[in-house]
Structure 1
């Protein structure tokens, strides 16, 4: 609504400025600076559009750069053009069942080769400063670990390890002091980690969503009588392994709904990469949003650990 009012104001400025400027030109005698009415119209229209666009800016981070929801456009990704209409949300009830890998109509991940004596999962954070309620300082971006996706990652790590799955949790901050090019910096981190831990099968880039892009409220489910934050899985269709990424995301989501009815989240497909080409078992996982509190988000991490452990055990040799 605010953007529409600004656009209307901008167009009014365009009309008034055009009339005043053209009349002034008709009365002027400066022969060294001549503009046509068409030239003036273009200049004023450009100004009007600039005014109107100010109401459509995204959420701002502490250093003034634009926050990127993973369901939105991500600058700097070699992915081609896309907009919000390109997102496809796949409800958990519509995901394919986990069946034999030889059935082309209902694919499931190929067998995951794991060695439980070594790390099997890497968790890292492209946007490590993303925070939850009540840690709302800095527009929900804080440097301390408490109340952020890093704390949620700690829970996810601990719960997976309880089930015998070794995890590497990297807490490198890629989005501060500059938010721009966060994905470029996190790509270096994940490549280095995969080079060091070559047994790793599953890669998780753990985020939280922005409430402005998910209805303006925290999303929750009830699991075993407890309120937990909902999750999203974002799939970058710009990756050469996009089909395998979708199969794995669908499998995880199906298992979540089987284990905890109502907990299965959204799968959001976008025409970007998000560095997911580094593994066929890469999950861009958003647990909750900035309107969810940290307790709900940590509780969700416990549930998701159960789901992921089950998927790994189902598909490991």
Structure 2
């Protein structure tokens, strides 16, 4: 018996030694082939992924992209290493494909046939007493975010790993019949003429039944995804209350009315060029600012500070905490600001693409994100109050309502999470996820036209869909 145990132990050590030797040999081959440059990058990436993975698994909810997929820690770690070593990756393609399909099924709830279904993922964790309002934005597997971090410490998820509804992974639903945009054209608005950069939708494509609006549970199932860490109270999801909230802006206001910023400024897309601002979420903010100013006449303040970079390194774990005083100071300096948009892109399974078609163009789908300052474990988070929760929920719902009627399939859902994500600084605050890391720059830029249209419909109160 003793000899058998000893032999088994030596056999185990022998297998481990052999495996390590193979890994070292393969890595050395890569290093020699590329003069160490590519190998260095691969090893750095593997180390970074391993570190992130260890934090995700061993310290759940610390990072926004933290999402457990049900696999063991060692299995996840080996998968991360395998992704960076070509020889190992080739042998596991079939396994990875199957795993990706399983994970996508677990983390997404499809909104099919323009019916948003419940089910999504976002992680948000605020440090238990007051902590980082960043760590808990949990989404669909943010590799880089449900949406690649709370004041009790909000972990981030959707790279946004938010658990997200798989709103038609490449749904192409009905779209408004509108002419192609003609940048040279202008329209008189009673003041200065404005450019037409995007053809506004003026025909309702899908009517939402009054019966649906009158049924809180049906409304919740159709338009919302509630994260498992939080809960919705009776009366919070009421169609007439949400649509009845007056969110219009006064005309001819002096000073900026809309603020755009990016808690995660380093988020990029599938074909982003390194170092190109235009290919990042900041560039996306530039596009949105141009549309809102030139076509709709709003004055927009765009803050481009990198809250997720510290001393030249990516640091996402406290980005929401770093952003809060800067945004609060901007709002104090510009009391005219009535709308605050934290612009992100989501993070999803690598095999999934959030695309629909609008006006004949491939367009990234969007998702609205709201924090309820309430968790199932702790109840109401009195240390993280959000006095504007009702207004912000109504703001998201009214935009979702316009999107569903004018651009069916464009919006994935409204995701509800347990914390607040700096949405407590102003009424009409929204965290917006545009596409994901699998979308192209063209697709996310195409989404800014329809989004600016539905935003203007809500802020102007002139939408036929809402009785304006």
Which TM-score tier does this pair reach, normalised by the shorter chain?
Answer: 0.5 to 0.7
Q: 2:292 aligns with which of 147, 150, 160?
A: 160
Q: Is the 8 A contact 2:249 2:459 kept in 1?
A: no
- TM-score, length of structure 2 as denominator length: 0.47
Distance in structure 1 (CA, Å) of the matches to 2:269 and 2:323: 21
1:106 matches 2:260:
no
Do the aligned partners of 1:155 and 1:302 also contact (CA within 8 Å) in 2? no
Cα deviation code 1:20-76 (max 9, x no counterpart): xxxxxxxxxxxxxxxxxxxxxxxxxxxxx979335458x9xxxxxxxxx99213452
The separation in 2 between residues aligned to 1:168 and 1:125, in whole angstroms, is: 12
Alignment partner of 1:221 out of 346, 356, 359 = 356
Distance change in 2, residues 1:237/1:153 (3 Å):
same
Answer 1 or 2: higher relative contact order, Cα 8 Å, separation at least 6: 1
Aligned with 1:78 (options 145, 148, 151): 151
The question of 1:313 aligning with 2:460 is answered yes
**Cross-structure match for 2:281:** 149
Q: C-alpha separation between the residues in 1 aligned to 2:369 and 2:76?
A: 23
Q: Is the 8 A contact 2:263 2:307 kept in 1?
A: yes
Change (3 A) 1:169 1:54: farther
- Aligned position for 1:119: 256
* Aligned twin of 1:37: none
* Residues 122 and 164 in structure 2, CA contact (< 8 A), matched pair in contact too: no
Select which of 197, 211, 218 maps to 2:348: 211
2:305 paired residue among 160, 172, 187? 172
- Relative distance call for 1:189 and 1:222 in structure 2 (3 A) is same
2:401 pairs with 1:254:
yes
Paired position in structure 1 for 2:52: none
Render the CA deviation track for 1:79-135: whole Å, top value 9, x for unaligned: 589999x969698969859xxxxxx75123324443444211100000011001212
Give the conservation status (yes or no) of the 8 Å contact 2:121–2:164.
no
| Alignment correspondent of 1:192 | 329
Shift of 1:261: 2.2
**1:226 and 1:88, CA in 2 relative to 1: closer, same or farther beyond 3 A?**
closer
Gapped runs of 5+ residues in structure 1? 1-12, 17-48, 60-68, 98-103, 138-142
Secondary structure (helix, strand or coil) at the match of 2:269 reads coil
Q: Match for 1:53 among 73, 80, 96? A: 73
228 and 180 in structure 1: CA distance in 2 versus 1, 3 angstrom threshold? same
Check 1:279–1:157 CA distance in 2 against 1; reply closer, same or farther (3 A cut).
same
Q: Tell me the matched-pair count.
A: 248
Mean alpha-carbon deviation: is it higher for 219-228 or for 86-95?
86-95
CA distance in 2, matches of 1:81, 1:190: 18
CA displacement at 1:174 relative to structure 2: 0.7
- Name the structure 2 match of 1:133: 270
Please give the root-mean-square deviation of Cα atoms over the aligned residues, in Å. Answer: 3.7
1:44 maps to none
Deviation of the 1:182 alpha carbon: 0.5
CA distance in 1, matches of 2:430, 2:299: 17
Q: Does 1:299 align with 2:435?
A: no
TM-score, structure 1 normalization: 0.68
Question: Which residue of 353, 362, 370 corresponds with 1:235?
Answer: 370
Q: Distance in 2 between matches of 1:148 and 1:118?
A: 27
- The alpha-carbon deviation at position 136 of structure 1 amounts to 7.2
Q: 1:236 to 1:216 in 2, by over 3 A?
A: farther
Cα separation, partners in 2 of 1:243 and 1:111, compared to 1, 3 Å:
closer
Q: Tell me, yes or no, if the aligned pair for 1:70 and 1:209 is still in contact at 8 Å.
A: no
| CA spacing shift, 1:263–1:88, aligned 2, 3 Å | closer
